[in-house]
Amino acid sequence: MSELQKETPLIEVKNLKEYFNINVGLFRTKPLKAVDNVSFSIRKGETLGLVGESGCGKTTVGRTILNLYKPTAGEILYNGKPVKTRADIAEFRRKATMVFQDPYSSLNPRMTVADIIGEPLDIHKMYKTKEERNARILELMGHVGLNSEHAARYAHEFSGGQRQRIGIARALAINPEFIVCDEPVSALDVSIQAQVINMLDELQEKLGLTYLFIAHDLLVVRHISDRIAVMYLGKMVELADADEIYDHPLHPYSQSLLSAVPVPDPKIARANQRIALSGDIPSPLNAPSGCPFRTRCPYATEKCAAEMPAFKEIKPGHFVACHKVDEEN
């Protein structure tokens, strides 16, 4: 086991639950299980990719870790210490931040670029003089490839890619150790996506950052992630090293997702069998009993309806929640 694996994870999530009470009638509510019993850890300097279909709870996981939503149950640990009290959360937020999905709505149109990037510095009182503040803003703009003359302009004057760079500069303002990247390139053109992904890679190396990278594009996730976790309907169904999950996906849902990834070589693409799923994703309000994937799984049995499979380590570093995989191993 390497030194990296022995050390305390930077972020540890244990049995995290996030339920939202939804009105279903007169004075009646029902819990929507957006995140249901999710556990994972992220080592310092690592990127964990979190993938799954829209509505599976990926973004809710990221926001709950940062306490933008109060967890219904479970534990979040930062450097081995629980993040529970108000003081813990305030301290954690000085070291953890988020890059949002939509660069068009996450930036205040009434603020200049300098004020947007400088806002976290103001909140956390991270400068002594105005000159120090301005120097830090220009330094952050340099990190993300923006020019100093952009500082006095407004967000609407920039393209989507440039706006996302402003959002990333704002996230870097507090010198974070951990960043939740919530689909940071999904609203951008493909050519711009590559630039932003490469920039995030470079910043990670330069500043020693740790990422939770949330996305639905598996090609993007493979490029940036060290390990990949797959979610379905609020549950974690598979977690392994990026290459391992691409070369040997074990969960039927992961196999289906990966079969849909486009391959540039036409011969390989023709030989690849697309695994199409039947049926629609069930509503998290009325999730199936047992395994949430059973209503679309070609291998589902009565056991799958009766009980949720445990999230188990099938081989070193490769975790799966599937009765079929359990029986085969």
| Cβ atoms of residues 100 and 107 within 8 Å | no
Sheet with strand 318-320: strands edge to edge:
96-99, 178-182, 210-214, 47-51, 227-232, 235-241, 318-320, 312-315
Residue 163 inside a domain? The answer is: no
Alpha helix (H) residue ranges in 21-106:
58-65, 86-92
Q: List the alpha helices (DSSP H) in 37-105.
A: 58-65, 86-92
Residue 167: which of 93, 113, 96, 94 has the closest Cα?
113
What pLDDT, on a 0 to 100 scale, did the predictor assign at position 4?
A: 45
Q: Report, as ranges of residue numbers, the positions in the chain whose pLDDT lies below 70.
A: 1-6, 262-274
Domain that holds residue 34: 3-95+176-328
What percent of the chain lies above the pLDDT cut of 90? 66
Q: How many domains does the chain have?
A: 1
3-class SS of residue 91: helix
For residue 53, the tally of other CB atoms under 10 A from its CB is 14
Pseudo-torsion of CA 319, 325, 328, 329, nearest 10°? 10
Q: At 248, which CATH number?
A: 3.40.50.300
Q: What's the confidence (pLDDT) of residue 1? A: 32
Query: Longest C-alpha distance within the chain, in Å?
Result: 68
User: What length does the chain have?
Assistant: 329
Each residue of 50-71: pLDDT tens digit?
999 888 899 999 999 999 999 9
User: Is residue 139 assigned to a domain?
Assistant: no
Query: How is residue 198 written in tokens?
Result: 């490469």
155 and 180 in contact (C-beta within 8 Å)? no
CB 167 within 8 A of CB 159: no
Task: Please indicate, yes or no, if residue 17 is contained in any of the structural domains.
Answer: yes
What pLDDT shows up at residue 263? 66
Asked whether residue 108 is domain-assigned, the answer is no
Domain assignment present for 270: yes
Q: Does 138 fall in a domain?
A: no
Kindly report the pTM of this predicted structure.
Answer: 0.91
The values of phi and psi at residue 259, to 5°, are: -70, -20
For residue 21, being part of any structural domain is answered with yes
Q: For residue 44, tell me if it sits in a domain.
A: yes
pLDDT at 82: 94
The C-alpha angle 5, 10, 15, rounded to 5 degrees, equals 95
Query: What does the alpha-carbon distance between residue 124 and residue 281 come to, in Å, rounded to a whole number?
Result: 42
